Amino acid sequence: MIDILDLIIRETLVAGVPGLTSARIGFQPPDDDWRQRVGASTGVWVNCALVDLREDRHRRMNIRRRVGTAAGIVDRREPAWIRCHYLITAWNAAKDSAQMPATEQEHTVLGAVLTLLLDADPMVASAILTPEQLAKLHPTLRDAELPVEVVPPDGFGKLAEFWGTVGRATSWRPAVYLIVTMPVPEPDRRLDGVVHTVLTSYDAVPGETGAGEQLADVGGLVLDATGGPAVPPIPVPDADVVLADPAGREVARVRSGDDGRFVLVGLRPGAYLARVTATGLPPPAPADVQVPGSPDALIELRFT
């Protein structure tokens, strides 16, 4: 996730700072190796060192939702929001001289970075990255507004400690202190790995087997896929589900819940047809249903 934020910052700087190229932006610590890298090149470089991570606890939401995806129904928790702290510095490969005001060139680039970032709140990946880059992002990050804070009044409390840990030859430098807050989504947890068919046997004569009746409770799910192949199907609440035998006689009727799920109770073994209707959606063709199915067989009815 942090590498995505690095990419967003890199593309923002390249697009808004004149003369700055992607090759001259680094995210490594500004240590002796960084100085050697800059010294072996030409021009002014920009270093964006990630120096701290903090959770924005004011935005924490312990909410879980059931969401329909192409992979099935998942349990999804609202993402945590992490404040990512960067120190951004400018480095000139040239040295100060009467003919070459190298430090002034650093300050020019750093000032351009400052001006750009002050106007960059919020950062939105879909407005910055290319379609190819966006395709690799988690959906939560594509259109999320990432709050930006630049040169906060309290500054960076560990500034002296920071410069003291990045190499003996590293001198103190002016820095733009940037904080970008980004969502970090948790992995979805699938909910379809549960038992959906429960069988119950009744004996005609107590103590005897083989002469009784077997009934089944079968679970199902109603999904709306009318948005097209690129849009994940979503659960349909309050849909009317009717189960009929091969002769067309209704044997069970139930409505789906808020999560699109339903349970058909007390079915005798055999072949059935399931029909589903919902307000505002075109009814799909009846679906074949075999009872009993396997314990993890879910009746899935889709509006297409």
Render each residue's pLDDT in the chain as its tens digit; 304 residues.
Answer: 899 999 999 999 999 999 999 999 999 999 989 999 999 999 999 999 999 999 998 888 877 776 655 455 567 788 899 999 999 999 999 988 877 788 999 999 999 999 999 999 999 999 999 999 998 888 889 999 999 999 988 888 888 888 888 876 667 889 999 999 999 988 877 665 555 677 777 665 555 555 567 888 888 899 998 877 777 888 999 999 999 999 999 999 999 988 888 888 888 889 999 999 999 899 899 999 988 876 556 788 999 8
* Domain containing residue 220: 192-303
Rg of the chain in Å (alpha carbons): 30
H or E element in which residue 36 lies = helix 32-39
231 and 296 in a single domain? The answer is: yes
Cβ neighbours, 10 Å, residue 33? 12
199 and 162 in a single domain? The answer is: no
178 and 29 in a single domain? The answer is: yes
181 and 200 in a single domain? The answer is: no
Could you give the CA distance from residue 273 to residue 287 in angstroms, rounded to a whole number?
6
7 and 113 in a single domain? The answer is: yes
Fill in the amino acid letter for 183: P
Could you give the CA distance from residue 64 to residue 79 in angstroms, rounded to a whole number?
10
User: How buried is 147 (Cβ within 10 angstroms: 0-12 exposed, 13-18 middle, 19+ buried)?
Assistant: middle
- What domain count does the chain have? 2
176 and 273 in a single domain? The answer is: no
Given this model, what pLDDT does residue 296 score? Answer: 58
Given this model, what pLDDT does residue 203 score? Answer: 60
Domain boundary among 161, 189, 217: 189
205 and 182 in a single domain? The answer is: no
Given this model, what pLDDT does residue 154 score? Answer: 85
Domain boundary among 172, 189, 206: 189
Given this model, what pLDDT does residue 38 score? Answer: 93
Domain boundary among 134, 161, 189: 189
Given this model, what pLDDT does residue 228 score? Answer: 72
Give the residue from 95, 48, 87, 112 showing the smallest Cα distance to 174.
87
176 and 221 in a single domain? The answer is: no
Give the residue from 204, 195, 171 showing the smallest Cα distance to 292.
195
Given this model, what pLDDT does residue 76 score? Answer: 78
